[in-house]
């Protein structure tokens, strides 16, 4: 049950069309379309490559079992390390860079929500128009 070169050209053309869709999709800036084109089309393209170019549809059933077993091991590995990797601290370690990034993001978010009155100058000092200068003697740095 061999495939002709014409069959492979059709699959290649379909993969090229899907590539164009997956590149153009995020340009629409619609979240649902972006997610569909990023993940849905990527999975379908991987399926097409596995089925037609790797000939998994013509192999014996044990090849499928090996593939499924490998995918399960990958999921187990991710499940085993994800709790540590996705956290900012653990029993004997701390991710200082992640904590600092969260604090910077929170500070930037507060500045956007409170308007110009709450924002300071580039050195963290309050704007002179934002309020009184109580506690600032001489105004120097």
What does the pLDDT look like over 85-117, one tens digit per residue?
777 777 787 888 888 888 999 998 887 665 545
pLDDT at 74: 92
Q: What is the pLDDT of residues 6-16, one digit of tens each?
A: 888 998 999 99
Considering only CA atoms, which of 16, 15, 21, 17 is closest in space to residue 37? 21
DSSP character for 28? G
CA angle 61, 63, 66 (to 5 degrees): 120
pLDDT band at 67 (very low <50, low <70, confident <90, very high): confident
Mean pLDDT of 36-54: 85
Judged on CB neighbours under 10 Å (0-12, 13-18, 19+), 121 is exposed
Give CA separation, 21 vs 13, 25, 42, 136, in Å.
Answer: 13, 6, 11, 59
């Amino acid at each position: 049950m061999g495939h002709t070169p014409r069959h492979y050209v059709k699959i290649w053309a379909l993969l090229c069309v899907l590539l164009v869709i997956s590149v153009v999709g995020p340009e629409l800036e619609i979240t649902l379309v972006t997610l569909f084109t990023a993940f849905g089309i990527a999975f379908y393209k991987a399926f097409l490559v596995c089925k037609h170019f790797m000939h998994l549809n013509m192999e014996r059933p044990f090849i499928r079992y090996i593939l499924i077993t490998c995918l399960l091991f990958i999921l187990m590995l991710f499940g085993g390390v994800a709790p540590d990797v996705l956290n900012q601290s653990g029993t004997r370690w701390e991710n200082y860079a992640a904590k600092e990034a969260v604090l910077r993001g929170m500070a930037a978010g507060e500045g956007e929500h409170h308007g110009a009155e709450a924002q300071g100058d580039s050195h963290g000092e309050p704007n002179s128009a934002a309020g009184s200068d109580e506690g600032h003697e001489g105004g120097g740095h």
